[in-house]
Structure 1
Amino acid sequence: MNLFGYIHRYKRLILALTAMFMLLGIASWLTMARQEDPSFPYRTGTIRVVFPGVSAEQIEKLITEPLEEQLAEVEELRRVKSTSRDNVAIFVVELLDRIYDTDAAWDRVRRAMEKAEQDFPKGVVEYVLEDRRMDIPAAVISIVGTADILELAHQAEILKRQLLAVNGVSRIEIEGDPEKELRIDLDSAILSQLSINRDQVVAAIQVHNQIIPGGVVRIGDHALRVDTGSDLQQKSDVESIPIRLATGQYIPLSAIAHIAFVARE
C-alpha cells in the first residue's frame, strides 16, 4: 500500500491528529512568554586586578594564586581561567550551566574576592568584578566629527547622560575613551632664568591641591559651612597657582609652563 492509500484509509485518524497538533501549536503560541530582547542568565564574568609596577611573576604569586584559592571554594563555579601579566591579572569566571539564580552565585564570588583581598599587598589600585559581560548591545552609536578625540569623548559623555534618562536603557558603555589628563610642561629656559627649580613648582602645586575641611561656624540655631577652596577644580585654577621667585615676588604657573588637557598615553 502506497502512502496516499494509507492516508485515504486512515484519513479520519490523520485529520484528528493534525487538528490536535494545530490546536496545541496555537495554544502554545498564545501562552508562550515573549521578550523583545530575551534575557539570559549571566554565567560568565571577568575579574580585573591592577597592581602597577609589578612583574607578571610577582602578579602570579601575590595576586593570582591567593584569589584562585578562594574562588576554588565557590561551588557554583565551573571554570576559572587566569592570566597574569605585568601590572594586571585577568580572571575569566564561568558558572555551572545548572545555575539560574546567578545573582546569589556572584555574591558568593564577591565574598571570595573579599577574603582573597586580605592577603593582597598594598598598592592594588583596581579590583573589580564584571558579571554582566553577556549583555548584547541593542544599539551601537558612532560619534564622528572633529579630529580632537577629547572633544569627541566629551560629546560622547553628554550623549550618554541624555540616553540614560530614557526609559528602558539599562547601561551604556563608551568604547575608545582616551581618558584625558592635565599635562604641565615646564619651560626649562624660563626656569633657569628665574632661578626656579622643578621641586619648587611641584611643591606649590601640591600645596594648592589639598582638600582641607574648613569646618562649620554656628551662630545661634544656624550653621554655616566654611569652604577653604584649597583643591583645584578647573584648568584656570592650575594656571593661576602662584610660584614664588627668589626676589619674594610671585608669578602664575602659566608664565613658566604650558598647561593643557591631553589624551592619556
Structure 2
Amino acid sequence: MSLYSFSVKKPITLLMIVCVVIIIGIVSLTKIPLDLLPKIEVPVAVVSTSYKGVGPEEIEKLITEPIEGAVATVGSMKNIQSISYDGNSLIIVEFNSGTDMDFASLEMREKIDLVKGFLPDEVESPMVIKVDPNAMPIIQLSFYSEEDLGKLQSILMGIVKPRIERIEGVANVSLSGGKEKEVNISLEEGELEK
C-alpha cells in the first residue's frame, strides 16, 4: 500500500501521526538548552614570575631556565615557549588536546615547587595561570567626553561601575584609561646639599 492510498483510506490515522510529530517537535524545542557562549577549554597554561629591577638576560638565566626545565617534565605537554623581559618571566605551556587542565596545572605547581629553592630570594612566587576563554569579558564599553575627562572618570568609578557590578551574573567590572593623579617633585641639588 502506497503512502497516497494510506492517506486517503485512513485520514484519521494520518492526522494522529502528524499531531504526534508536531507535539514531539514542540516538546523537543522547549527542552533543548540554548547556549550562546559554549564552554571552551584551551589546553594552555602560563607560568608568570616577577623579579623587579633585573634585566632580561639575568631573568633568563636565573628564573626562566630553571622553571622551564622543571615544567618540561610535565606529562602530555605539546609545546613550550618562554619570554624573558625586564623584571618578568613568562613560560607558555601548550598541552595535547583533551588534557585535564586542572590536573596539568597542579602537576606544574608541584614541579615548580621543586625548583623554588634554587631561585633568588627576592623573586616573587611563580604563578600558574590556566588560559580560560570563558573568563574573557563578554562586553566592553567605551566612553568619551568632549569636556572634562576627570569628571567622566569619577562618574564611571562612582556611579556606573557599582551599578553594573550589582547586576546578577556579573563577575567583574574593570576600568582602564583615563587620567591618573600623579605628583611631580622637582629637586634642586644645591638646596639638598644645605
1:107 paired residue number: 106
**What secondary structure does 2:185 align onto?**
strand
> How many pairs does the alignment contain?
172
What is the CA distance between 1:118 and its match in structure 2? Answer: 2.5
Q: Which residue is 1:45 aligned to?
A: 45
User: For 2:83, what is the secondary structure of its paired residue?
Assistant: strand
1:81 is matched with 81
Identify unmatched segments of 5+ residues in structure 1: 1-9, 13-21, 199-245, 247-265
Rg larger in 1 or in 2?
A: 1
Cα offset, 1:157, TM superposition: 4.6
| Counterpart contact for 1:160–1:172, Cα < 8 Å | yes
How far, CA to CA, are the matches of 2:181 and 2:109 in structure 1? 32
Match of 2:143 in 1: 143
Shift of 1:161: 4.3
CA 171–45 in structure 1, closer or farther in 2 if over 3 Å, else same: farther
Cα distance 1:34–1:155, how it changes in 2: closer, same or farther (>3 A)?
same
Q: Larger helix proportion, structure 1 or 2?
A: 2
RMSD (Å), alpha carbons: 3.8
3-state DSSP of counterpart to 2:115: helix
Relative distance call for 1:144 and 1:177 in structure 2 (3 A) is closer
Look up the equivalent residue of 2:80 and give its one-letter code: V
TM, length-normalised to structure 2: 0.65
Greater share of residues in strand: 1
Residue identity in the other structure for 1:62: L
Query: Relative contact order (C-alpha < 8 Å, sep 6+): which is higher?
Result: 2
Following superposition of structure 1 onto structure 2, how do residues 1-265 of structure 1 map, counting pairs within 5 Å? 33-99=33-99, 101-125=100-124, 127-135=126-134, 136-145=136-145, 146-148=148-150, 152=153, 156-158=156-158, 159-176=160-177, 180=180, 183=183, 185=185, 188=188, 192=191, 197=192
How far did residue 96 of structure 1 move? 1.9
- Flag structure 2 segments of 5+ consecutive residues without an equivalent: 5-20
Tell me if structure 1 keeps the 8 A contact 2:42–2:132. yes
> What is the TM-score with the length of structure 1 in the denominator?
0.50
- Tell me the amino acid that sits aligned with residue 38 of structure 2: P
